[in-house]
């Protein structure tokens, strides 16, 4: 049912439903709707395959010798085989792209004493436009002799292959900038400069949450670039939202000046929990088109028991899965959890 609904949504986008609604008579509207959907399906095919389909339909509908009807059935099978061959080839290429994309994100979180880290992602399609990362920067920070922990969660506008390609370039830019001794504010400016140069006139902007954690003092410096505000649940049960930052990366400007991003600073304490997520979590819908929403997510984080970051992540993902049920996934879902050990 989910696949049928998604297929209907794909073809119905090309139908002028307003023009059909103006037709008089229920039967006429029904026939016009069927014809419009048939044309939408026909136009998705290449010109030569359109001819094949039309010939097959004529042979099947026209009341002539059964042998010609058998030829019509054979043509339909040939057309189906050609379409399946294209789909299998495309699927194979997408599987290779997914494997490459999996190389760009960490499989296991870095081991940081006193800090539990867990992350998970689920693409809406074979490849995703979401990105997450957590790693120790190779150079010590200016304020400490220890390597700071950098965490990042980003979401490129769009879905599937176009978003995945831009996600790969974003990952490469972030890794290159963090390999230097540049502070977080300079890294953010560099990322925005790069995204603006490759945003296709603002159609492919990127929201992101970037943070640098001092692994000794547990102080966190962060920038929220138009991303969903992460949820910081204190050990006392108090909930804070981390919103300091600026607009998404890559948004076109009417001036050549750099975008001013304001960095936020929070002190993490034992028992604190940080939950970072992309909009695919709160915008997940069930079969009735109802959104999961922050109204369900925030109480789940606020009432989280004393458990590991991995357990919290699994509990949230399970709750989202239960809510969605058998409904088709509409967007990439990515979550990251940081817990300061008590």
Per-residue pLDDT of the chain (342 residues; tens, 9 = 90+): 767 777 777 778 888 878 878 777 888 888 888 888 888 888 888 888 888 888 888 888 876 677 888 888 899 999 989 888 888 888 887 788 778 777 888 899 999 999 999 999 988 877 778 899 999 988 766 666 788 999 999 998 877 777 788 888 888 999 999 998 889 989 999 998 888 877 666 667 889 999 999 998 999 999 999 999 999 999 988 999 999 999 998 887 655 666 788 999 999 999 999 999 999 999 998 888 899 999 999 999 998 888 899 999 999 999 999 998 887 788 889 999 999 986
Q: Is there a single domain that holds both residue 249 and residue 138?
A: yes
Q: Is there a single domain that holds both residue 227 and residue 321?
A: yes
Q: Is there a single domain that holds both residue 169 and residue 268?
A: yes
Residue 120 in contact with residue 335, Cβ under 8 Å?
Answer: yes
Q: Is there a single domain that holds both residue 148 and residue 218?
A: yes
Domain residue limits at 134: 105-340
Q: Is there a single domain that holds both residue 163 and residue 279?
A: yes
* Token pair for 191: 């990322």
Last residue of a domain, one of 70, 99, 128: 99
Residues 191, 182: Cα–Cα separation, whole Å: 12
Last residue of a domain, one of 99, 127, 143: 99
Length in residues, the chain? 342
- Which CB contacts under 8 angstroms, 24+ apart, belong to 39-45? 39/14, 40/11, 40/12, 40/14, 40/15, 41/11, 43/14, 44/11
Q: Is there a single domain that holds both residue 88 and residue 182?
A: no
Q: Is there a single domain that holds both residue 145 and residue 194?
A: yes
Q: Is there a single domain that holds both residue 227 and residue 315?
A: yes
> How many domains are there within the chain?
2
Task: Report the first-to-last Cα separation within the chain, whole angstroms.
Answer: 47
Last residue of a domain, one of 82, 99, 116: 99
CATH number of the domain encompassing residue 321: 3.60.40.10
Q: Is there a single domain that holds both residue 89 and residue 208?
A: no
């Amino acid at each position: 049912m989910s696949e049928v609904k998604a297929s209907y949504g794909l073809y119905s986008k090309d139908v002028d439903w307003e023009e059909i609604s103006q037709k008089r008579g229920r039967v006429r509207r029904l026939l016009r709707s069927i014809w419009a959907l048939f044309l939408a399906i026909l136009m998705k095919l290449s010109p030569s395959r359109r001819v094949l389909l039309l010939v097959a339909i004529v042979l099947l509908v026209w009341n002539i010798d059964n042998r010609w009807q058998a030829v019509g059935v054979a043509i339909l099978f040939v057309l189906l085989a050609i379409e399946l061959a294209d789909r299998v080839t495309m699927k194979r290429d997408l599987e290779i792209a997914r494997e490459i994309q999996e190389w760009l994100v960490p499989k296991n979180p870095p081991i940081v004493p006193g800090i539990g880290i867990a992350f998970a992602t689920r693409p809406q399609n074979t490849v995703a436009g979401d990105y997450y990362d957590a790693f120790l920067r190779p150079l010590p920070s200016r304020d400490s002799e220890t390597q700071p922990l950098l965490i990042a969660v980003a979401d490129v506008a769009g879905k599937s292959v176009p978003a995945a390609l831009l996600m790969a370039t974003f990952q490469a830019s972030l890794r290159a900038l963090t390999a230097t001794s540049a502070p977080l504010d300079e890294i953010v400016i560099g990322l925005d400069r790069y995204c603006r140069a490759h945003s296709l006139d603002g159609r492919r902007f990127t929201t992101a949450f970037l943070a640098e954690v001092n692994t000794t003092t547990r102080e966190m410096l962060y920038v929220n670039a138009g991303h969903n505000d992460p949820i910081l649940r204190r050990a006392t049960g108090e909930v804070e939202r981390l919103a300091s930052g600026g607009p998404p990366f890559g948004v076109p400007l009417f001036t050549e000046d750099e975008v001013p991003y304001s960095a936020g600073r929070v002190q993490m304490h034992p028992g604190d929990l940080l939950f970072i997520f992309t909009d695919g979590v709160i915008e997940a819908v069930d079969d009735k088109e109802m959104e999961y929403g922050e109204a369900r997510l925030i109480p789940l984080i606020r009432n989280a028991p004393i458990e590991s970051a991995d357990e919290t992540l699994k509990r949230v993902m399970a709750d989202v899965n239960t809510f969605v049920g058998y409904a088709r996934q509409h967007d990439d879902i990515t979550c990251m959890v940081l817990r300061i050990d008590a």
